[in-house]
Amino acid sequence: MKQLENKKTLYSGVQPSGNITIGNYIGAIRQFTLLSDQYNCLFCVVDLHALTVRQIPAELRRNTLELFALYIAAGLDPQKNIIYCQSHVPEHAELTWILNCFTYMGELSRMTQFKDKSARNQDNLNAGLFTYPVLMASDILLYQTSLVPVGEDQRQHLEITRDIAERFNNIYGNVFVVPEAYIPKETSKILSLSDPLRKMSKSEPDGAVFLLDNADDIRRKIRRAVTDSDAEIRIDIENKPGVSNLLQIYSAFSGESTDEAIGRFEGQGYGQLKKAVSDAVIAGVEPIQKRYQELIADKGMLHQQMMNNAERARQIAARTLRKVYKKVGLYQG
DSSP string, 10-65: EEEEE---S--BHHHIIIIIHHHHHHGGGSEEEEEE-HHHHTTS---HHHHHHHHH
Is residue 199 involved in binding ligand TYM (CB under 6 A)?
Answer: yes
State the minimum distance, in angstroms, from the CB of residue 31 to ligand TYM: 8
CB atoms within 10 A of CB 196: 23
Give yes or no for a contact between 36 and 28, defined as CB atoms under 8 angstroms apart. no
C-alpha closest to that of 43 among 2, 4, 14, 74: 14
Is residue 23 involved in binding ligand TYM (CB under 6 A)?
Answer: yes
Closer residue to ligand TYM, CB minimum distance, 153 or 256: 153
Is residue 245 involved in binding ligand TYM (CB under 6 A)?
Answer: no
Give yes or no for a contact between 105 and 331, defined as CB atoms under 8 angstroms apart. no
Is residue 30 involved in binding ligand TYM (CB under 6 A)?
Answer: no
Footprint on residues 159-188 left by ligand TYM (CB under 6 A): 188
Kindly give, in sequence order, each residue whose CB lies less than 8 Å from that of residue 53, ignoring residues fewer than 6 positions away.
17, 117, 121, 124, 129
Among 75, 94, 102, 153, binds ligand TYM (CB under 6 A): 153
Closer residue to ligand TYM, CB minimum distance, 163 or 264: 163
Closer residue to ligand TYM, CB minimum distance, 115 or 330: 115
Closer residue to ligand TYM, CB minimum distance, 17 or 254: 17
Q: Which stretch binds ligand TYM (CB under 6 A): 20-28, 101-109, 274-282, 301-309?
A: 20-28
How many Å is the Cα radius of gyration of the chain?
21
The amino acid at 192: S
38-69: burial string, b at 16+ Cβ within 10 Å, e else: ebbbbbbbbbbbbebbebeeeeeeebbbbbbb
- Residues annotated as catalytic are 117, 199, 202
Distance between alpha carbon 283 and the CA centroid of its chain, in Å? Answer: 22
Is residue 89 involved in binding ligand TYM (CB under 6 A)?
Answer: no
Is residue 15 involved in binding ligand TYM (CB under 6 A)?
Answer: yes
Is residue 28 involved in binding ligand TYM (CB under 6 A)?
Answer: yes
CA distance 295 to 166: 41
x/- mask, ligand TYM, residues 41-80, rule CB under 6 A, reads -----x--x-------------------------------
Among 41, 42, 85, 136, binds ligand TYM (CB under 6 A): 136
Q: Which stretch binds ligand TYM (CB under 6 A): 25-33, 56-64, 98-106, 223-231?
A: 25-33
**Would you say the C-alpha torsion 41, 45, 50, 51 has a positive or negative sign?**
negative
Residues that bind ligand TYM in the complex, under the rule CB under 6 A: 11-15, 23-24, 26-28, 46, 49, 136, 139-140, 148, 150-151, 153-154, 188-190, 199-200
